[in-house]
Amino acid sequence: MATSRTLTSRGIVLLALSAVLIGCTQPLALLPGEQGIAPAEATPTAAEAPVSEPPTLTPSLAPELPEATPTATEVPTATASPTPALLGPAFAPGIDPLTGLAVDDPALLDRRPMGIKVSNFPRSLRPHTGLSLADLVFEYYTEEGMTRFLAFYLGHDAPKVGPMRSVRLVDGQLVKMYNGVLGFVGGDPFVLGRVIGMIGSSRAFSQSPSTCPAICREGNGNVNSVFADTAELTVLAKSQGAQDLNGMVFSSEPPLAGVPGTRVHVQFSNGARAEWRWSSELGAYQRWSEDVLEGRIVMEPLTDRLTEAQIQSPNVVVAYAWYARGSGNEKYNIEFVYRKRGRAQVFRDGMMVEGFWLAEDAISPLQFIDGAGDPLPLKPGATWIEVVGENSTPTETAPGEWNVRFRFP
C-alpha cells in the first residue's frame, strides 16, 4: 500500500524531533549475547579532517540528581607490588660474591677462588668428595658421552675434593672469568699450553710430588686417586688479595615471574644424566645421577663422601652455550666470552624463569638477566650450572617437570 512507504508532514516533523533528542544522549553498547546490527566502520577519506575529541553535549533540560552520600567503605587504592631487595652486583665486605651469603671467616674472601677439576666417570668413583661445599659448580659435556665438573671454592674450604681429572680449554676460560686458581691432573700438551696462556703458570697447578698436601695422589695411584685440599691449595698458590668478582645478583624473595619448575632432568647422553628435584622442606633442589640397574638406566641420589648427605643447591641454571669442535684430544671447547650471551633457565624456589647468561668480558663472572636486560636474581647460596649445547631442547613433560636433551653445537 502507498501509505506504508509515504511519510506525512506530521511524520517528518516527529522523525526530525526524535533525531534531535537522540543526539543529546550517548548510544548504549550492546552487551554480549544481545541481538543487534553492528554499525559498519566508517572508511576515512582524504577530504575528512581528523577530529581529536568528540564535543560534549549538555542537555538543556537535565534533571537535578541528588548528591551522593559518602559511605564508610571506600574503594581501596591499588598499590604497586614491592620490589624485592637485591644483593649485588657489588658486595659489602664479608659477603661472598659467589653466593650472596655472609661468611663465617671473612679472611677466606681475601684470595682467589679455588677451581678444582672433578671427574664424573666411571660411575664406580662415585660418590664424589667435597662438591657439596662448593660455591659454584659447572657441569659440562667432555667427550664419549661423559661429563665433568669444575667446582669453585671461596666462602668455604673443603679438606678433600675429587677425584680430580685432566684440564680442558673451557676450564681456563672459566677460571680466568672468575679470577681463580685451577687445580687439575695433567692434560693434553696443546690444551695445557693454551690454558696456561690464559691464566698464567702461577695460577695453574697440576698434580705432582711437589703439590702435596695441596694436591695429592692416594691409594693405589690409579687415574681417579687424586684429591685437593682447597685451604692448602690457597697456600701453595700464594693467593692473597680479594678479587673483583662483582656481577652476580641475589634475592631471598621468590621470583615474581616464571612458571613451575620442580624438576629438571638434563640428558647429556644416554649414559650421562643429571636431575634436580625441588624439596620445599629443604628450600633447595636435590641432585640425582644416572646408574645402571639390571641393564636399564635408573636415577639415584648423588651424595657427598664428606657429609654422607645428598648434594643439594638452591639454584640450578641450565645455560645454553656454543660447543665449538676442537682438534686432537680436545674434542670440544665451550665459548662463553666469544659468544657474549646465550639462553638460560634459572630454577629456584620451585619455579623456572627464562632469561640469558651474559659474559661482559674475559675477566668478569657470568651474569644472569631477563629479557629486558635487568638482573635475574639467584637465591642466596650455591649455584650449579648445567652447560648444554645451543641447540639443546627443553620440554615440559608434566606440570613443573622439565627435560633438557643435549644437542650440539
CATH of the domain at 125: 3.50.90.10
Question: Could you write out the DSSP letters of every residue in 356-391?
Answer: EEE--STTS--EEE-TTS-B-PBPSS-EEEEEEETT
What number is the average pLDDT over the span 78-84? 47
Average pLDDT, the chain: 84
C-alpha 209/C-alpha 205 separation (Å) is 12
Q: Is residue 205 situated within a structural domain?
A: yes
Residues contacting 104, CB < 8 A, separation 6+: none
Q: Is residue 4 situated within a structural domain?
A: no
Q: Does position 128 have pLDDT exceeding 70, yes or no? A: yes
Tally: H helices and E strands in the chain:
4, 21
The pLDDT of residue 55: 37
Q: Is residue 130 situated within a structural domain?
A: yes
Pick from 73-82, 99-108, 138-147, 295-304: least confident: 73-82
C-alpha 305/C-alpha 390 separation (Å) is 33
Q: Which range marks the domain in which residue 305 is found?
A: 106-405
The count of structural domains within the chain is 1
Q: Is residue 254 situated within a structural domain?
A: yes
Answer for the pair 297, 271: CB distance below 8 angstroms, yes or no: yes
341-356 pLDDT, tens digit each? 999 999 999 999 999 9
The pLDDT of residue 326: 79
- Count the neighbouring beta carbons within 10 Å of the beta carbon of residue 72: 4
Q: Is residue 148 situated within a structural domain?
A: yes
Residues contacting 229, CB < 8 A, separation 6+: 157, 158, 159, 160, 161, 213, 214, 215, 216
Q: Is residue 363 situated within a structural domain?
A: yes
What number is the average pLDDT over the span 318-338? 88
Q: Does position 24 have pLDDT exceeding 90, yes or no? A: no
* Residue whose C-alpha cell reads 675434593 in the numeric block: 161
What number is the average pLDDT over the span 256-270? 97
The pLDDT of residue 299: 98
The pLDDT of residue 222: 82
C-alpha 380/C-alpha 75 separation (Å) is 39
Pick from 10-19, 58-67, 230-239: least confident: 10-19
- CB neighbour burial string for 326-359, b if at least 16 within 10 angstroms, e if fewer: beeebebbbbbeeeeebbbbbbbbbbbbebbbbb
Q: Is residue 290 situated within a structural domain?
A: yes
Q: Is residue 316 situated within a structural domain?
A: yes
The pLDDT of residue 286: 99
Nearest residue to 334 (alpha-carbon basis) of 278, 392, 271: 392
The pLDDT of residue 84: 59
What number is the average pLDDT over the span 363-389? 98
